Amino acid sequence: MHLTIKYFGMLTEITQCDEETFAFTQNTVLELLNSLFIKYPLLKDKDFQVALNNELVPIESEISSTEIALLPPFAGG
């Protein structure tokens, strides 16, 4: 499966991009994050949440959509 991964805020300073396509053969968010931590070791130390289908999900969740977003702490207002 090809996933589109979106990065926001401080996370883009680590990934050097705000979106990328990622070939992924496993199932869960946690498995995806472990792959991303190999590609971007500094990501591991950052505080962020994961959204699928515009909803925050626990990292044990199965990836059910082709777009996934990594969201650092919110700062609106």
Partner 1 sequence: MKEHNVKNIFKEGPIASEFIGNAIAKHQSKITIGAHTIFLGQVRADTIDKKNVSAIEYTAYETMANKKFHEVREAAFAKFNLTCMHVYHSLGIVKAGEICLFVFVSATRRKEVFAAIEYVVNEIKAKVPIFGKEVFEDETHQWKKNV
Residues near partner 1, by CB under 8 A: 6, 8-10, 51, 54-55, 69, 71-77
The angle at the Cα of 17, spanning 72 to 68, to the nearest 5 degrees, equals: 55
**Cβ-based nearer residue to partner 1, 8 or 22:** 8
Taking alpha carbons only, the member of 36, 17, 32, 16 closest to residue 64 is: 32
The DSSP symbol for 25 reads -
- In the bound state with partner 1, the residue whose beta carbon lies nearer, of 38 and 73, is 73
To partner 1, the closest distance from the beta carbon of 39 in angstroms equals 21
For residue 71, the 8-state DSSP code is: E
**Closest separation in Å from C-beta 67 to partner 1:** 9
